[in-house]
Every structure is written in structure tokens, then in C-alpha cells.
Amino acid sequence: MKVLVVDDERDVQVLFEQRFRKEIRNGDIQFVFAFSGEEALGYLKDHGQEAVLILSDINMPGISGLELLRQIKQKFSAPPPVVMMITAYGDEDNYRTAMNLGADDFLTKPLDFAILKDKLKQI
């Protein structure tokens, strides 16, 4: 399973690679990283729907996570990837906007990796 992680914090890559080191080693999950909404869209354009799950931060400079979500749901529909949104604020506004835009799930920072692992197993 390929997962695209979108976050403007670069160390998120090391963090995911360490948190999921067993899953990565066993070849259960493969991670790709994009450090902005623009990069994520570029990846999706080049690689189509390789990534079955997109995990995106909301608060990013440039294209925000919500705008990225809107574009993904518009442009990449067959088959639609699962999009989970992550935000530090976890407020109602962002939650509702994300849900209205078609987010499949909603996670709040700090990420609980045990919960995330459970959710990934169900996909």
C-alpha cells in the first residue's frame, strides 16, 4: 500500500519512516512525501492514483490542505484516493470544511500513531 504524506515540516518524513519502520521493512506500507500542496499535486499528476491514501496537513503555506483536498476530489476521481486530513487546531470550522470537501477522515495533531496504524489496517 502506498501512502502519500503531505506536510510542510520536513522531519515528518524521518518520523513516519521510524514510526512505521517495521511495516516499511516488511513491505506492507510504502511512503512518499510531499512538503507542500503544490508538490503533492505534482506527484499525483506524474504518478496517477498510485497512492491509495493521502495524509495531509491543513496548515501549509501556499496551497492549504483544504485546497489540496478540493483539487484531489475534483481532478483525481477514478478511483478516488482515501484522503485523511490532519490539523493542529482541530476546530469545528476546519472539520466541517474538510468533511464538506469530501475528506474521508480527520486526524488531529499530535498524531496518535497507534490510532493511525489501526486506521491504515482497515484500508
Kindly identify the residues of this chain, within the stretch 88-107, that bind another protein according to CB under 8 A: 88-89, 93-94, 97
Nearest distance in Å: CB 117, another protein: 13
**Of residues 14 and 115, the one with the C-beta less far from another protein:** 14
Q: Which residues of 18-49 are buried (b: 16+ CB within 10 A; e: fewer)?
A: eebeebeeeeebebbbbbbbebbbebbeeeee
Cell of 92: 469545528
**Of residues 80 and 90, the one with the C-beta less far from another protein:** 90
Q: Is 25 in the site for another protein (CB under 8 A)?
A: no
Cell of 16: 513516519
Distance of CA 81 to the CA centre of its chain: 10
Region of 43-51, 56-64, 77-85, 98-106 interacting with another protein (CB under 8 A)? 56-64
Name the nearest CA neighbour of 85 among 74, 98, 76: 98
Which residues make up the interface to another protein (CB under 8 A)? 9, 11, 14-15, 18-19, 59, 61-64, 67, 88-89, 93-94, 97, 109-111, 113
